[in-house]
Each structure stands twice: as C-alpha cells, then as structure tokens.
Amino acid sequence: MLLTGKKPALSIEITKECPLRCPGCYAYGADHLGEGSGLRQLSDFRGDELVSKFLTLVDEHNPIHLSIVGGDPLVRYRELNQILPELERRGIHVQLVTSAFRQLPPEWTKLKLLYVVVSIDGLAPEHDKRRAPATYERILKNIQGHKITVHCTITSQMMRRAGYLQEFLAFWNNIPEAKRVWMSMYTPQVGERAEEILSQSQRSQAVSELVELRKSYPKLEMKEAVLKAFLRPPATPSECIFAQTTHSMSADLTTVINPCQFGGAPDCSQCGCIASMGLEALGRHRVLQVQVRDLFRITTRVAKLRMRPQPARGITPDPFPILSSAAKEQASTTR
C-alpha cells in the first residue's frame, strides 16, 4: 500500500463536540489545526449527511486500520450505529476512542473488527476531577457487557505518588470488561509548561515500573521494547513511523491534521504516544541485518520516486539515498 503513495492508517475526528473539558486535551488546543485554528472553529456534520460523507472519505482512502476520535465519538452514537456495520462489511479494523460518558450501544458487541478504547486519567479521585461527567461510576456502568481497552495517559502528578501505577493496574486488572490496558505519557506542544508534563527522571521511573509491573498484571499489553521506546522517541514527525503511515482528518472531513494526530507543534522529544512507541519499537527490529525502519524508508522513498516525473535518459536515481553503504548493499541483495 505504501508503494502506491497511500497511508495504511486513517484517523478521523468524527465530531468537534464533547461534554468533557479535560485539562491538556490536545484536540482542543488553540493551534491544533494550525496557527490560531482549533477544532471548535470547524463546522461538522450529523445525521445522514455525516454517515454519507464519512463513508465516502473512508472509501477514498481505503485504510487497513481506522481510528475514530473526536471530540467524543459517542456524541454521534446514532450515526455510528449506521457507520460501524458498513466498516465491518468493508473489512476495516476500527479503533474507537471515547470517554464512555454514555452507555456503549449493546449492538456494538456483535462487531468483530471494532475495538473500543476508553480513556481513563488515573485513579478515581483524579480521573473524576479531570473528566466529569465521565466518572468512574458512570464508566463502569456504561461498559457493562463490552470488552474494552483501557488507555491511561501518565502525567507528572501521577508519578509524584509512589505506587500509583501499580494501584491503577491492580484496579483495572480485576475489571472483567477490561480486556487490556495501554499506557501513554503526556505529550506537550513545543514551549508548553503544563503541570502534566513529566520530567526526564519521572519518565524513566515510569518505564522502569511498567517493565516490572507487566510481569504481575497480564492485562498491561505493552512489550518491554515498546516501553523502552519512551526513553528515546522519534526525534521528528518525519522519523516517526506512526506519523508517516497515518492520515489524520478533522471534523469537517476536509481539514488535514499535521504533522501527526496531535496537530499543532508537538514536542517530539517528549512524545508519549503509545502508537508512535509501538511502531518505533517495530522499526528498531532487524530483518536480515536491516532495521524495519530502513525497509519502511526504502518503501516510501520508492513510492515517491514512482510518483515523480521520470529523470532524463541515462540518469538512474538512487532508491536508497538515506541508508548507509552497508545497509544499501543488504537492501539490494534482498530486493
């Protein structure tokens, strides 16, 4: 798919509306969609118009994986009741990220390719303060009968209390509806001074704790290589496999979110995105002495060359300009 110039993953902010006002929410940052442009300034859709335009956009990109975010997608649960079965018929794996402020529709349990991710900001006292009306009490009621992924974004406040991450995992490990737990870290924008930002020592401590905790809490579905990627995230969006393989669209279904799903100017040196770390860990894996990230770069480079006008006769472009001589030789022998 990359050889055609298309990205295999698509992320869509299905609505600009959300009943929550969570501190530090990147989707509602003032510059999320560019300088002085935020999600709330857009026009979005509802009803049959949203269903039609959403499916048209998906068919245009034909992704392997689709993330539905917001806002909060459950604001448009009626439209999703029409959209999700259509995506299932198309064979598209769908990840829907929500705060679970309302009951998850029971018919969603029949969808085999739908994965519901519920954002939980720490233990109940802190979460309920940040995410009301999506309180612990309401979430536990609204997810009954479903299998969800719990997603927690680690903040500096959490790391100030010894044992916080273990207590969080102990709670959700015992909730039958929680199939797995994922952890991200708060990702600031360049120049941001939010209280949520982890220091480097807190970041290292979180990784050390999670590497050990995964042995005791099997629902923490994060490999050690993924956790260690948080210590050295991709330096720029151009080096981030997740950013390079995901096309992100905002709620007007026209505006492209750059340079990645965070929008604005994310501080890549402090990136805490689990998707980015997962693909970064994959990129560092070696196949026949060549890192997967190099194979990815070869593929994207070849795709760009195929889309460019042909060079003058007699001039052969180097398809592997970003690789070392040794990597070029290995790549050439495995083509």
3-class state of residue 18 by DSSP:
coil
**Same domain membership, residue 319 and residue 252:** no
> Residue 124: is its pLDDT beyond 80?
yes
Tokens representing 270? 């402090």
**Same domain membership, residue 60 and residue 83:** yes
Check if the beta carbon of residue 114 is closer than 8 Å to that of residue 88: yes
Q: What is the pLDDT of residue 6?
A: 75
Q: Which residue has the higher pLDDT, 104 or 291?
A: 104
Q: What is the pLDDT of residues 250-300, one digit of tens each?
A: 999 999 999 999 999 999 999 999 999 999 998 876 655 556 556 566 565
Answer whether 0.95 is exceeded by the pTM: no
Task: Check which CATH number belongs to the domain holding 173 and give it.
Answer: 3.20.20.70
The Cβ of residue 8 has, within 10 Å, a number of other Cβ atoms equal to 14
**Domains in the chain: how many in total?**
2
In which domain, by residue range, is 244 found?
2-284
3-class state of residue 263 by DSSP:
coil
How many Å apart are CA 264 and CA 37, to the nearest integer? Answer: 9
Check if the beta carbon of residue 250 is closer than 8 Å to that of residue 257: yes
**Same domain membership, residue 251 and residue 216:** yes
**Same domain membership, residue 157 and residue 206:** yes
The Cβ of residue 248 has, within 10 Å, a number of other Cβ atoms equal to 22
**Same domain membership, residue 30 and residue 8:** yes
**Which long-range contacts link 128-136 to residues 24+ away (Cβ below 8 Å)?**
130/22, 130/23, 131/20, 131/22, 131/99, 132/20, 133/19, 133/20, 133/101, 134/19, 134/20, 134/99, 134/100, 134/101
**Same domain membership, residue 36 and residue 134:** yes
How many Å apart are CA 103 and CA 148, to the nearest integer? Answer: 13
Looking at every residue in the chain, the average pLDDT score rounds to 89
